[in-house]
Amino acid sequence: MKDIIKRLRSLFDVNNIDGYIIPKNDEFFSEFANNDRLKKITNFSGSAGYAIILKNKNYLFVDSRYTIQAKIESGKNFKIIDLEKIVNFKNINNLTIGVDPALFTSEQIKKIFPNKNFKVIKKNLVDQLINFKTSKINKFYFLNEKITGQSHENKINNMINYLKRKNIDHIFISAPENVAWILNIRGNDSPTSPIPNSHLIISKNKKKFIITKKDKLRNLIKKKIIKINEIIDPNKIEKLNNRLSGKSILLDKKSCSLKFEKFFSKKFKIIKKIDPIYLLKSIKNKTEINNMIKAHIEDGVALTKFLFWIKNIN
């Protein structure tokens, strides 16, 4: 760990920074990051936190769930601080802290760096030091209307009507769970939830583009849920703006990274709101309600069996 931190600090002068901040989340803002940079740097294995590495000091910010765990795993090399204190953290005043724009929203940046003492570093410094294994290509799969209770075409049309009512040309759906809902798709990119790591653009002129690796979409292409010309490789988004007309785009302020916000702002007026999908998917249809009831029954049976078993252990 000390060697990695030393090598990380060697990159500070090259990038004209005094420190570097490392979050737990990945570019999809998942606590189960494929590239767990925070653990590699700090040895902390909890689900939330930030590390700030300065030239002479190391800080690890965690919430109250992880105070003891963080001291055990990281206390030798890091000072453990309550997560809430990262806001207006005085020890970084007058210092320039490097930030990967793909891992933070602009709202997070405003809270952590109210004085704008940060510098965008496009190529993640941890990634320059550690060769993370390429994750397995997990193909997305489709859920039919019998399971979801509403077709993906209907959901997309509802979103198009929303854009027309609000006079907005596009919506960038950055949260993978919202992409999953509107397209009725699922994936295997998280160990605890069927998340399809991807982003989606829907336009009021009925165009859509999904940003993810083509190999993940093989099943969806066969079912004609996605067309080949609707796929944008994550490493080739530079020309995406040229494929979009209009003047405005809605970004989810909860999950749209600073990287994408800066990218779209080159051409469009940015409208930052909570993605309307959060509300839409909270309103359950009859099929979803019935499936929830069935799931609760199965869950109740499983819990009852477990309680019976544990009470009767010899």
Both ends of the chain: CA-CA distance in Å? 45
Q: What is the pTM for the complete model shown?
A: 0.92
pLDDT digit string (tens) for 272-306? 999 999 999 999 999 999 999 999 999 999 999 99
Q: Find the angle CA(164)-CA(170)-CA(176) to the nearest 5 degrees.
A: 120
Confidence of residue 268 (pLDDT cuts 50, 70, 90): very high
Read off φ and ψ for residue 234, nearest 5 degrees: -55, -25
For helices 176-183 and 152-166, give the axis angle rounded to 10 degrees. Answer: 110
Alpha helices in the chain (DSSP H): 2-9, 37-42, 67-74, 106-112, 125-129, 145-148, 152-166, 176-183, 218-222, 258-265, 277-280, 286-311
pLDDT digit string (tens) for 227-240? 999 999 999 999 89
Sign of CA pseudo-dihedral 120, 177, 197, 293 = positive
What pLDDT is stored for residue 278 in this prediction? 97
What pLDDT is stored for residue 133 in this prediction? 77
Confidence of residue 35 (pLDDT cuts 50, 70, 90): confident
